Amino acid sequence: MYKRRTELLQEVVGMAAKRPDIMSVQTEAARDGNYTVDMLVVNLEPSGLSTSHSNKVRLLLDFGEHGREFISSEVGLRFLRTLTNDTAFEAAAGGARRAARLRRILDLCVFKILPMENARGRELVESGKLCERKNGRGVDTNRNWGVDWGVKEKDYDPNEEYPGTAPHSEPEVQIIMRQAKALKPHVWLNVHSGMYALFTPYDHKPYVPEGEAEQASLRIMRRINELSCQGKCVIGSGGKSVGYLAHGTATDYMYDVLKVPLAFTWEIYGDESAGFDDCFRMFNPVTRPLFEETVKSWVSALLQLVELLPTHPATAPLLKAAAADAAPAGAAPAVQRRQGLDAEEPRPGAEGQQLEEGKGASGQEGRADSEAAAAAAAAAAGPGAAGAKEGAVAEGQQQQQQQQGGTLPRPLRAHSSEGRLRDPQMPAQRLASTHWLVPAVVMAVALGGLVWGRQQHKAAG
């Protein structure tokens, strides 16, 4: 089910050999002392490889930053298969019509994809150290970046998040830094497992930065949550939503220093029933059906991210042609388009299966058309017009939820952001797990009083 490190990377190289028109690979190397890293970097340009990307949306996607999170690299591998195989692409898109629309956007995009950032750490996991998250010499590369580097929380655990001897000391970080500075991406995405979440900056501060672009990013994450995460993903600042601050993360550096406008961390799987020491099961699906469901869902989410790029002010200007093409003449009125956006949508990539009773491929394409029309209308109206009220309402709902029920569903706090292990017996987590007791007791007392009153009324009558 899971490919070993060498098998996965060899398959990626093989894809590039079959599609040299749109895909190339190179191995980037970096060294610090005796520690050497070779990282496979994929260049993918769906309209054909070129040397100038200034007029395209540029995306830098990072998979497999932590060794034990096998499912991350599997999603990256499947995404590459999807983009390099026409049949797989149409199946993942859910039909020819949506596939054509996605291609029009993809033709205006260029990708750099890191299918397995932490190959040295992955090698340790494959040797039997199933709980290893750090790189080949014991550094958490997602704590090695320069924003707030080295700051340690009270519950800091060096076994999980040792940040290294200095910012950017690690060869893995140095390679990614070079790629990011050369590409100047509009989109950074770091894919992890350990829970279900769609995080935006910040990780080291307990809030989402203010701004029109930041609200647009949140709206995109909310839509992906509806379509691919079945509404169960935590959304917003990692520093606020997880319940602890993370310092020196890649996403915060991409956003704060390299000024990447769409910077995200996705957590794509977490088994809340796994024992604290059952690391592989905690971070990776262990049955074939669950594996396939997870991979398909998150490849679908990646396609949805692409499809929603015309709605973001940082990328909309480069996608005007695709956005205009996506909105057919005589598009449905705004109310109908809104209904199309709010309706539950079958997951693209069902490959002809009906995911819900009575919802087939034709219905899926119709809903996708409504979504595309609304996205194009939002882009045409200007970045400030789309969903400002919706964003404010959603933010209020999120704050209310956090006030009422803690920051995360209780079991997932043991897994936490970017796959960090948390002892499920920590006092703060035991406290968070009891937040439902007070309203439950009040309700029980009220119901008991109601039943007693009715009995008294009957007795009196």
Is residue 399 scored above 50 in pLDDT?
no
| pLDDT averaged over every residue in the chain | 79
Does residue 367 surpass a pLDDT of 70? no
Looking at the DSSP assignment, which residues form a beta bridge with residue 234? Answer: 197
Q: Which of 267, 307, 365, 371 is catalytic?
A: 267
pLDDT of residue 326: 54
CB atoms within 10 A of CB 31: 11
Distance CA 438, CA 394 (A): 26
Each residue's pLDDT tens digit, 295-309: 999 999 999 999 999
If one compares 138 and 390, the residue with the highest pLDDT of the two is 138
Residue pLDDT, tens place only, 140-177: 999 999 999 999 998 899 999 999 999 999 999 999 99
Portion of the chain with pLDDT greater than 70, in percent: 70
| Model pLDDT, residue 66 | 98
| Interval 91-129: pLDDT, tens | 999 999 999 999 999 999 999 999 999 999 999 999 999
pTM, 2 dp: 0.76
Which residues 6+ apart lie within 8 Å of 6 measured at CB?
none
pLDDT beyond 50 at 424: no
Catalytic (active site) residue 267: yes
Q: Residue 240's pLDDT band (boundaries 50, 70, 90)?
A: confident
Tell me the average pLDDT across 30-46. Answer: 98
pLDDT of residue 244: 82
Contact 43, 111 (CB under 8 A): yes
Predicted confidence band at 314 (pLDDT cuts at 50, 70, 90)?
A: very high
State how beta strands 109-114 and 57-63 pair: parallel
Structure tokens at 59: 């995306």
